[in-house]
Amino acid sequence: MPEGHTVHRIADRFERDFSGKTVTISSPQGRFASAARLVSGQTLIRAYAVGKQMFLEFDGGGTIRIHLGIYGKWQFHDGDRDHEVVGQVRVRFSAGRVSADLRGPTVCEVISPDEVGAVLRRLGPDPINPNPRQRESHRFIERVTRSKSAVGLLLMNQDVISGIGNVYRAELLFRAGIEPHRPGTSLTVDEVQALWDDAVKLLKVGVATGFMITRDELFKKRPTKDERNWVYKREGQPCRMCGTEVSIELMAARKLYWCSGCQS
CB of 239 to Zn ion, least distance (A): 3
**Quick one: 34 or 244, whose CB is closer to Zn ion?**
244
Does 262 engage in binding with Zn ion (CB under 5 A)?
A: yes
Residue 218 is given by DSSP the state G
Does 242 engage in binding with Zn ion (CB under 5 A)?
A: yes
- The continuous run of DSSP H or E covering 10 comes out as helix 4-18
User: Which listed residue (9, 52, 175, 234) is catalytic?
Assistant: 52
CB of 18 to Zn ion, least distance (A): 45
Tell me if 179 sits within 8 A of 263, measured CB to CB: yes
Phi and psi at 29, nearest 5°, equal -80, -25
Distance CA 122, CA 169 (A): 20
Check if 115 is active-site: no
Does 241 engage in binding with Zn ion (CB under 5 A)?
A: yes
CB of 247 to Zn ion, least distance (A): 10
Query: Which residue number is nearest to Zn ion in terms of Cβ?
Result: 239
β-bridge mates for residue 250, sequence order:
255
CB of 175 to Zn ion, least distance (A): 11
Check if 103 is active-site: no
Check if 169 is active-site: no
Pairing of strands 73-77, 91-95: unpaired
Tell me if 209 sits within 8 A of 192, measured CB to CB: no
Distance CA 22, CA 18 (A): 8
Q: Is 264 helix (H, G, I), strand (E, B) or coil?
A: coil
β-bridge mates for residue 76, sequence order:
100
CB of 244 to Zn ion, least distance (A): 5
| Total interface residues for Zn ion by CB under 5 A | 7
Residues in 4-23 at the binding interface with Zn ion, rule: CB under 5 A:
none
Pattern 201-240, Zn ion, x by CB under 5 A: --------------------------------------x-
Does 261 engage in binding with Zn ion (CB under 5 A)?
A: yes
User: 233 CB contacts (<8 Å, ≥6 apart)?
Assistant: 257
Check if 73 is active-site: no
Residues that bind Zn ion (CB under 5 A): 239, 241-242, 244, 259, 261-262
Residues carrying an active site annotation: 2-3, 52, 254
